[in-house]
Amino acid sequence: MGKNVRFGIIGCGLMGREFASAAARWQHFTEEIPQPQLIAVCDVNPSGRKWFTNHVPTVQYEYDDYRELLKNPEVEAVYCAVPHHLHEEIYVAVIESGKHLMGEKPFGIDQAANDHILEALQEHPEVFARCASEFPYFPAMQVMLSWIREEKFGRILEIKAGFNHSSDMDTKKPINWKRQACYNGAYGCIGDLGIHTQHVPFRMGFLPRNVYASLRKYINQRPDGKGGTAACDTWDNAVLFCEAVDKRGETVPMTLETKRMSPGDTNNWYFEIYGMEASAKFTSSKPDIFTFTQSWGKEQAWADIHIGYKPMLPTITGPIFEFGFTDAILQMWGAYMKELDGRQVSFGCFTPEETALSHRLSTAALRSYEERKAMDL
């Protein structure tokens, strides 16, 4: 693979712009990693494309139909960041075009869509595909991952992970596609936020065997932004109570929560692990802090380490500085590009196989709520 990889973006919204920004500061890395070179963009909305043609000098091609972008032989890889109801059609088309794919979660609006995407990948083993998930790249989470690998926690008692928001507490906030099941899917907040809670436990070998789900809808209508109202028919909050089996074969209770109505939370991603020898917590609300306790028997004390800027892939930023969301996106893309280049990273992006497990869990969660009982996966 050459030094740069020529990329197209399909979906020039919030996440498309985040990718362009990360790709533009590749000089941040201190090691040689192939750089994404953004040459083509596609969006049905001209104003989405305009941002890119105004701000990204390497963009040479602009399309309103993704099929045209996929016909461009110069494009080697595609970042696809479109609403969930389009994942299946567009991801499968990207894969069949032989271009590499970074897809967005939930990697298909439902189980059938995800199955179809994975079948296309099986038929095209030459395509490298991953699903975006950036929070594990916070340096404090990298410490957490080392502690898990080094088995510092001893026998695991429990895991809790979550991704919570509060902006929907504003009942006057206008509707968008993420609050409408026809675009966002029946999973609601689980499909939108769930993969973020699953990346670390799945990769660390905590695999859910069953689930009991509590799903809540609080707001049924929202302003449509045009003076009227529109149905808001997605799940607002979900708590999934799972039993996972860890690498030792032990059963570990695992709670995964995804909430849009979580007072005080702004994009709060967290992970907590409780063990016989030690326990630890991370929350993106305190992005620099790794909180841990060691077991001294009867009593324990929590302590905070301020980790500083010590990410998985080294950068020019000094280790005493702070790390943030845009840095996590850059790390995620660095990991994707290294893996695409055939190199190892200590913590890689969410794999298509992991998205399949995620869909089995989300589908079982919906059935669990319908039948009000625990479901095996």
Ligand X SMILES: NC(=O)c1ccc[n+]([C@@H]2O[C@H](COP(=O)([O-])OP(=O)(O)OC[C@H]3O[C@@H](n4cnc5c(N)ncnc54)[C@H](O)[C@@H]3O)[C@@H](O)[C@H]2O)c1
- Report in angstroms how near the CB of residue 108 gets to ligand X at its nearest: 10
Where do contacts with ligand X occur on this chain (CB under 6 A)? 10-15, 42-45, 48, 66, 81-84, 86, 104-105, 132, 134, 192
- Cβ closest to ligand X, residue 292 vs residue 347: 347
Structure tokens, 173: 């906030």
- Cβ closest to ligand X, residue 12 vs residue 39: 12
Bin 372: left if φ > 0, else alpha if -120 < ψ < 50, else beta: left
- Report in angstroms how near the CB of residue 224 gets to ligand X at its nearest: 16
- Report in angstroms how near the CB of residue 154 gets to ligand X at its nearest: 32
- Report in angstroms how near the CB of residue 330 gets to ligand X at its nearest: 13
Rounded to whole angstroms, the Cα distance separating 172 from 218 reads 13
Axis-axis angle for helices 14-24, 325-340 (nearest 10): 70
Query: How is 89-114 classified by DSSP, letter by letter?
Result: HHHHHHHHTT-EEEE-TTSSSSHHHH
- Cβ closest to ligand X, residue 279 vs residue 283: 283
- Report in angstroms how near the CB of residue 196 gets to ligand X at its nearest: 7
Structure tokens, 270: 């967290």
- CB-closest chain residue to ligand X: 13
- Cβ closest to ligand X, residue 15 vs residue 38: 15
Rounded to whole angstroms, the Cα distance separating 290 from 186 reads 35
Rounded to whole angstroms, the Cα distance separating 252 from 255 reads 10
Rounded to whole angstroms, the Cα distance separating 262 from 57 reads 40
Residues in a beta bridge with 40: 8, 61
Structure tokens, 111: 């189980």
- Cβ closest to ligand X, residue 236 vs residue 246: 236
- Report in angstroms how near the CB of residue 14 gets to ligand X at its nearest: 4
- Cβ closest to ligand X, residue 15 vs residue 361: 15
